[in-house]
Amino acid sequence: MFNLQNFVRENVKKLMPYSSARDEFSGVGSVFLDANENPNENGVNRYPDPLQKDLKKKIGEIKGVNSDHLILGNGSDEIIDLLFRAFCEPNEDNVVICTPTYGMYEVAAGVNAIQIKAVQLDENFQPDVNAVLQAANANSKMLFLCSPNNPSGNLLEESKVEQLLKEFNGIVIVDEAYVDFAPGKSLADKIADYPNLVILQTLSKAWGMAGIRLGIGLASTEIIEILNRIKPPYNVNSLTQQKAFEMMNREIFTNQLNEILLEREELSKILADLSFVEKLYSSDANFILVKVKDAKDLYYYLMKRGIIIRDRSKIKGLEQCVRISIGTKSENEVLCKALQAYDSNL
Q: Could you list the residues that contact ligand PLP (CB under 6 A)? A: 75-77, 102, 146, 150, 175, 177, 202, 204-205, 210, 215
Q: Smallest gap, in angstroms, from Cβ of residue 282 to ligand PLP?
A: 18
The rounded distance, in Å, linking the Cα atoms of 149 and 173 is 13
- Give 28-79 as a DSSP string: --S---SS----S-SSSSSPPPTT-HHHHHHHHHHHTS-GGGEEEESSHHHH
Q: Smallest gap, in angstroms, from Cβ of residue 219 to ligand PLP?
A: 16
State whether residue 83 is helix, strand or coil: helix
Q: Smallest gap, in angstroms, from Cβ of residue 241 to ligand PLP?
A: 15
The rounded distance, in Å, linking the Cα atoms of 294 and 292 is 6
Backbone angles phi, psi at 121, to 5 degrees: -70, 155
Q: Smallest gap, in angstroms, from Cβ of residue 180 to ligand PLP?
A: 12
Q: Smallest gap, in angstroms, from Cβ of residue 285 to ligand PLP?
A: 8
Q: Which is nearer to ligand PLP, 8 or 55 (CB)?
A: 55
Q: Which is nearer to ligand PLP, 4 or 209 (CB)?
A: 209
Query: 199 burial class (0-12, 13-18, 19+ CB within 10 angstroms)?
Result: buried
Q: Which is nearer to ligand PLP, 177 or 224 (CB)?
A: 177
Q: Which is nearer to ligand PLP, 22 or 205 (CB)?
A: 205
Q: Smallest gap, in angstroms, from Cβ of residue 269 to ligand PLP?
A: 25
Q: Which is nearer to ligand PLP, 178 or 194 (CB)?
A: 178
What is the helix, strand, coil percentage profile of the chain, to 5? 40, 15, 40
* Residue closest to 346 by CA, chosen among 280, 245, 290, 277: 277
State the residue number with the nearest CB to ligand PLP: 75
Q: Which is nearer to ligand PLP, 175 or 311 (CB)?
A: 175
Q: Smallest gap, in angstroms, from Cβ of residue 204 to ligand PLP?
A: 3
Cβ atoms of 105 and 152 closer than 8 Å: no
Q: Which is nearer to ligand PLP, 100 or 215 (CB)?
A: 215
What would the 3-class secondary structure string for 167-233 be? HCCCEEEEECCCHHHCCCCCCHHHCCCCCCEEEEEECCCCCCCHHHCCEEEEECHHHHHHHHHHCCC
For residue 235, what is the enclosing H or E element?
A: none
